[in-house]
């Protein structure tokens, strides 16, 4: 599910995100792929494919807490977005595979077709099942009509003027787009008709979108429960397709798919008690562990208990509070250990092990070390979708780098998930 929200557009982007400001990026070596990727590998991260596609992030020299995320396609041009550096690995991971652009809360474009946000996991492909958007129309910079525009009234931001908390939204985006269009026409041979802004589709018309009450009704829960899920980051509630006057709005297909996934989680074999709905097994265990600790602190320590307990309070009441405290911690696992960053780091470590040079005196690379194996098992327990993606990404890249059969790499890595003793497993023989 796409969750990376950019702070601003880079001025050199070919595909501006509507509604957010443009920031001067002329100090970046965007016209020199080699220099840019070299800099990204040194201070950020970079990935490439044999067909000429590549994506990277590069912390800004003046604001290292902010990172430029670049997606380059030899036919469809480039995207340049500014993200908090801590969110940059998530932004890059959203570009793995087919997505070139994300709009409207996770709707994505592969260069030809628009698809709905990824919500249905396909275990055979180790990816979300793509669902094309019916009657979708691509809106380009050449066909954008939102009233008169005046580039003279536009405001180009400098990176020193940005905060890392919220996207830099602007009420004069049409004027800003006019300024960007003027510069783009002068510096690029890519026609404005090939610069994608967003999509239009019947299901994304404002009159067809669902607010919190309707979204909650679709899932069979109360609006207050849905708001609690959103505030706690619970139950994989998808990002809204639009926010109008502080009202979050979802398309009906996205709401219905989320409701379907939620019902499957409730009725599925992994569900144990209602308070673990929507949590992975690892997160559910963390909830119960912390709940036990909090209950002991709140109820069994007299010096704490006497400060807040009233006569009508019971052990059952306090246990309910403790369960809520535990669930809060479980729902915030990413605050303790950022899963996307772990996945990106683990992928790089596994690739270095499987495709790197053999050490002196050895005829092939060393086996996967116990620490990497333990991290893969941890990721699989707490974030199984990310673990599957790590295995697939590692297998695909190992094939491109060293010709290792993907099935061989996947068999090796999946074997680590069953090796609970942390034994070191050797690299594939073909990696020599």
> Does any domain span residue 123?
yes
Domain boundary among the residues 225, 249, 267 is at 267
Do 86 and 181 lie in one domain? The reply is yes
Instruction: Tally the domains of the chain.
Output: 4
Q: Taking Cα atoms as reference points, which of 53, 58, 23, 51 lies closest to residue 37?
A: 58
Do 12 and 151 lie in one domain? The reply is yes
Range of the domain at 24: 8-199
Do 139 and 98 lie in one domain? The reply is yes
8 Å CB contact between 234 and 228: yes
Do 357 and 408 lie in one domain? The reply is yes
> Does any domain span residue 416?
yes
Percent of the chain topping pLDDT 70 = 79
CA distances from 122 to 23, 151, 292, 395, 411 (A): 38, 46, 36, 17, 18
The pLDDT tens digits of the residues spanning 153-167 come to 888 999 988 887 788
8 Å CB contact between 116 and 126: no
Do 263 and 352 lie in one domain? The reply is no
Give me the mean pLDDT over the 84-113 stretch.
89
Do 22 and 98 lie in one domain? The reply is yes
> Does any domain span residue 3?
no
pTM confidence score: 0.63
Between 215 and 310, residue with greater pLDDT: 215
**CATH number, domain at 232?**
1.10.1660
Do 255 and 282 lie in one domain? The reply is no
**What DSSP designation does 16 have?**
P
Do 97 and 173 lie in one domain? The reply is yes
Do 159 and 239 lie in one domain? The reply is no
pLDDT at 3: 64
Do 74 and 190 lie in one domain? The reply is yes
Do 358 and 328 lie in one domain? The reply is no
The pLDDT tens digits of the residues spanning 262-310 come to 777 555 443 344 466 667 777 777 777 677 667 766 666 665 565 565 5
> Does any domain span residue 250?
yes
Q: Of 143-147, 156-160, 195-199, 252-256, where does mean pLDDT reach its minimum? A: 143-147
Partners of 101 in beta bridges: 109
């Amino acid at each position: 599910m796409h969750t990376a929200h950019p702070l601003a557009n880079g001025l050199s982007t070919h595909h501006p995100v509507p509604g957010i400001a443009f920031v001067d990026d002329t100090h970046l070596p965007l016209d020199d792929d080699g220099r840019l990727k070299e800099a990204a590998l040194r201070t950020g991260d970079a990935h490439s494919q044999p067909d000429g596609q590549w994506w990277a992030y590069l912390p800004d020299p003046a604001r290292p807490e902010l990172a430029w995320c670049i997606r380059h396609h030899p036919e469809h041009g480039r995207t340049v977005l500014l993200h908090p550096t801590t969110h940059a690995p998530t932004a890059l991971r959203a570009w793995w595979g087919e997505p070139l652009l994300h709009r409207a809360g996770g709707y994505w474009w592969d260069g030809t077709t628009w698809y709905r946000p990824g919500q249905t996991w396909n275990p055979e492909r180790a990816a979300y099942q793509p669902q094309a958007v019916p009657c979708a129309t691509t809106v380009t910079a050449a066909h954008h009509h939102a009233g008169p525009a005046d580039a003279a009234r536009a405001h180009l931001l400098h990176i020193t003027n940005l905060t890392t908390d919220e996207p830099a939204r602007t009420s004069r985006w049409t004027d800003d787009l006019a300024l960007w269009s003027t510069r783009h026409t002068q510096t690029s041979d890519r026609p404005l008709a090939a610069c994608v802004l967003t999509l239009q589709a019947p299901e994304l018309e404002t009159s067809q979108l669902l607010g919190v009450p309707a979204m909650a009704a679709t899932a069979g829960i109360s609006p207050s429960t849905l708001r609690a899920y959103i505030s706690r980051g619970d139950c994989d509630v998808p990002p809204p397709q639009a926010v109008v006057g502080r009202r979050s709005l979802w398309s009906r297909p996205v709401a219905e798919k989320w409701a379907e996934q939620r019902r499957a989680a409730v009725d599925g074999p992994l569900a144990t008690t209602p308070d673990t709905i929507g949590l992975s097994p690892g997160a559910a265990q963390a909830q119960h562990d912390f709940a036990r600790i909090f209950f002991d602190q709140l109820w069994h320590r007299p010096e704490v208990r006497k400060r807040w307990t009233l006569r009508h309070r019971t052990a059952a009441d306090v246990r309910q509070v403790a369960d809520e405290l535990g669930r809060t911690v479980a729902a915030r696992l990413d605050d303790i250990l950022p899963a996307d960053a772990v996945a990106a780091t683990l992928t790089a470590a596994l690739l270095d092990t499987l495709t790197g040079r053999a050490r002196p005196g050895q005829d092939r690379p060393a086996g996967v070390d116990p620490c990497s194996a333990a991290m893969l098992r941890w990721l699989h327990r707490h974030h199984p979708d990310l673990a599957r993606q790590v295995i697939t990404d590692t297998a695909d890249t190992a094939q491109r780098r060293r010709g290792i059969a993907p099935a061989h790499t996947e068999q090796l890595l999946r074997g680590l998930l069953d090796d609970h003793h942390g034994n070191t497993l050797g690299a594939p023989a073909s990696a020599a």
